[in-house]
Structure 1
Amino acid sequence: MRRPSVFSLAAVAALAALLALGSLTYSQSLDRLLGDTARRGENTLTLAELALRGQMERFERLPELIADDPLVKAIATDPLNLITADAANRYLQTIQTLLGASDIYFMDATGITRAASNFDAEKPFIGGNFAFRPYFRDAINGGEGRFYALGTTSGKRGYYFGAPVRVAGDIRGVLVVKIDLDLVEKAWRGADYQVLVTDPEGVVFLSSNPGWRFTALTPLTQTQRAALSLHRRYADLPLPALPVAASHQQAGQHLLTLTESGTTHEYLMVERPVREADWTIRVMLNTAAARTQALSLAFVVMLGLGLAAMAGAVVLQRRAALRDSLRLQLAARAQLEQRVTERTRELAKVNATLEGEVAERILAEDNLRRAQSDLVQAGKLAALGQMSAALSHEINQPLGAARTYADNALVLMDRDRLPEARHNLTRILSLIDRMSSISGHLRSFARAPHQKLRAVDVAEVVEAAIEITNPRLRAARVDLTVDLPPDLPHVQGGPVRLQQVLVNLLTNAADAVEGTANRHIAITARATPTGLRISVRDHGPGVAPGLPDRIFDPFFSTKGVGKGLGLGLSISYNIIRDFGGNLSHGTPDDGAGQGAEFIIDLRTAIPENAPEIAPENAPENAAPQTTTQPEQAA
């Protein structure tokens, strides 16, 4: 009667020990796996934070730059001027399209919107008063406005940057740039984790899970709702709480249990503050995989120990086989731990590599901009070098003539023939003015240009370019025709850089027609609905089929070896692109047969920014007209 009781007690004790060991294994494995999950969440959190900060830093300095624009200051000075307001609307719309911002608008000192990029939309901001927004209050007090909210007019989410508009030291209004963070939010979707960003009240306004958007981590108090209502951050949205069924700590990790649509999920949450915006960014990873893995490991251990106990109870001689089985299980466990460690290490290396690549790309962009500026200046100096011999001949001729007139003037003065001597001195002064004009154009051409765009008189730039290339044109015996109507509008650009483009095109055209039967080159300019079109047409051999798509590539040249680096057209193309225009190769349509035509399309300058001024060192008497330069010998 005692033996069944002993066996029963032994079985119960063995089962209790097995369950206790399984529970301990499960607990320890889960703690370790939760730690691994948290480390993976920290890496994901870093990447998500970098993406969010990168989008914000891209726009944070733009409001103060736009606020310093003369047109913005003009409307700040006279907000009721309809002409200035219309120009400001179109200027802000152009900047908004160019930068990819959501909206850009100007508010006067009372908070009323006077100009906006969406002036032609169904619900424009113009006339709306947004003085209740914190970004207005901070900016009007001289600080930097920062605020995230739903637009009260558009109903769209956005992050607002505000900057004060100062006129003569006084703050006359606020310039606001609104950006859209939807692209960042979309990049977080589709992964095995959830990313969300909350405001100081704990309201979720960015989330990779659309169902969590505009909910609160905890139920909002009346005080919190009053604070949100004061600034109308989320308009009239109800802002319910997330369906959190439980929240607790395990192994130093914060775990949340959410019930959605009758399904319960447990998440491990890691968070990090974004201090400059007073936000908190969180990454939530589902713990189901970690619990399943820990449970599987505990089951394996329990199964192994149970089999070992059963085998030991049945036959003692199989202890060796059971020990081998346990060793295999322990090896599998160690291998699993090693794989988890290696995977974590690999993720850390990938993260470091990504940060290094981002830094390298930023450095490469800076180097590319500096290289482009250096190539522009090098192209001009190379052109000056190519023209040096012809310019030397161009200057030596007036010098020789001036010497002859001076010698004759001395003889005439000795013979008391003063009128004739005065005539000779007048001719000498004319020759000196001609040489001064040539050297002035060369200094202007060689000078490194200012990067700021302004209104440019195309007729004066064309005349300066012809003055510089005149020796080369005469050496090639070019028949040059210039057709410039007298009422051409000013264009947006830089006179020195536009002059460099025309010098390049004229030099290329002279090279193309030199030695041919038809050495005619034509320069024409015509107004277009959006600006001005300049055409440089030659009658040389033209561009061979298949090459027009490559002629603007750097270091591509159709000239012989030693006759150019192939950078002229590439530099000219980028200069015109900087002006907001376009340089293209067209097909001549004048019925004259072969040849090449290069077309420059430029935008009209803003009327308020188009003063009647000439390019640097350009002659004062350069009037646009239609002229013909006959073919001459060098």
Structure 2
Amino acid sequence: MALRVLRLRKFWIALVLAAAAVAIAMLGHRIATRTAFDEAASRGQTTLRLAVAALRGHISRFEPLPALIADHDDIKDLVSHPDDPVRRAQANEYLKEINTLLQSSDIYVMVPNGDTIAASNYDLPLTFVGENFIYRPYFQEAAAGRRGRFFAIGTTSLRRGYFFSSPVLVGDEIRGVVVFKVEIDAVEASWRGGENEIIVADPEGIIFMAGREQWLYAGLLPLTPERVARTRQSRRYADAVLRELPITRGAPEDGHEFVTIRDGGATREFLQVSENMADAGWTVSVLMDTASARAQALTSATAAVLLFGLATLIGAIILQRRARQAERMLMQKQAREELERRVEERTADLATVNAQLELEVAERRTTEQRLRQTQSDLVQAGKLAALGQMSAALSHEFNQPLAAVKAYADNAAVLIDRARVPEARDNVSRISSLADRMATISRHLRNFARKPNQRLGPVPLAEVVDDTLEIIGRRLESAGATLEVDLGAVPPVVIAGTVRLQQVLVNIVSNAADAVQGLDDRTITLTARQQGGKVTIAIRDRGPGIAPQITERIFDPFFSTKGVGKGLGLGLSISYNIVKDFGGSLSAENHPEDGAVFTIELDAAASAAAVAAE
């Protein structure tokens, strides 16, 4: 019994769902069809407005021209003397010139009996001169004193055009009519190949402009004898064959008009939007094929049914899943409790590890601070060692000026006693110069010996080289070495620290002096060149070079090739670390010819102007 009730319930549910699907399909198709036609009508209205604006713009710019031509003195003189050949020839040339300038179709002048006496095409085979157009409405309206407008096929040229006419007044008398013809083929050509069909019909319902050439001169309305007679009377379409367009008008739907046209063997339904051009007497219509709109509506209705089916399927899946949700929730609760227990255990382990890591980080920071302090002390020790090596030479530098000062002072006392004041003053000036010399040497030694500022900035390389020469000048003299400096046309400016860079150059040049001591060629060269954002400083000696077995150890701390008591083995190691702190590099290699080359590469500063701004 329960199974039967369950099956009956499923049957009724299926029946209700099927009925709902049918209702959704019908309602969705109705709504989708209305929406598709509304959108198509909106697009058609836009196309219609553009087409009407193009027609009005094309016609309106020529409308005032017949009146202007009719007011011309030559035209008035012509209609006053219509048989004068000279006046006719002048009028023909004038009309041809105006027609060429305005790029219109034809301009011609008629007398009250309808004869054409002058035309812009007077020299063409199909000229209007001599033709009579009294049957045209535009002539009749102008002859009655009004401006005329008329669309027709020319009976002479057999080309469609829009005719404007204006009376030629001489005093208060109408002596003639000026007619201005404009072709509209260019406007019609722009409609071809478009998504929609555009047609223009005259007051009798006959199509005279269309994107499809086969629809021309076909009637949208039944061609009754009265309509045909009115059209034949004005010869609007000359000898063109008029016919009825096989069109059937359907019942309006939601305010939209539909027509069905049989074109060849195919029948197509169109949504029609129209607008009357009252001033021209035309009706402009845009026809939009409904096949795409109806297909779109069918697709939308199908999509709605599919969505309903999908929603039903999703609902069934949800209901089925709810039955299992309680069981899953229980399992999840148990798993969650187990996970929380494990997380607590893991958190405790992580807290212990984290504490150990913090302790190690603190120890590493302490070690790093001690390392930096040790490195700073080693740099200072290296400088003091270099000062110790140069002490003998520097004592000679101070002893010579001091002996000279003593001699000049004694001489000055003798010269003063002998009243030779100018010579005594000269001795005193020499004593002052020697004092300045010793002060300069002392200042360089003091700057070299002190601990440098760690801040980096633009450093002129020329100044550092000059200060270096002041410190090691005597060392070079004692070794008999010569330092040749080539910093280029514009000495570079590098990013470094002044005192520390000076210490690097002192260490390397001093080592070079040791290497060339006692040799025949004791020349040391220091060159610097800037390439892009880098400056390369090369210091080369002519010594024995670097032995291959020590190439990899040359920058190691406390490694030295000098004898005992001649060095700590820290100079190159300190120099290497200083250059590395500058963000540069220091390398050593043997020169292809002879000797060793130490290369320093540093970042280049912007310019010397940047140094002046510091």
> Between Structure 1 and Structure 2, whose CA radius of gyration is higher?
2
Q: TM-score if structure 2 supplies the norm length?
A: 0.49
Structure with the larger RCO, 1 or 2 (CA within 8 Å, 6+ apart): 1
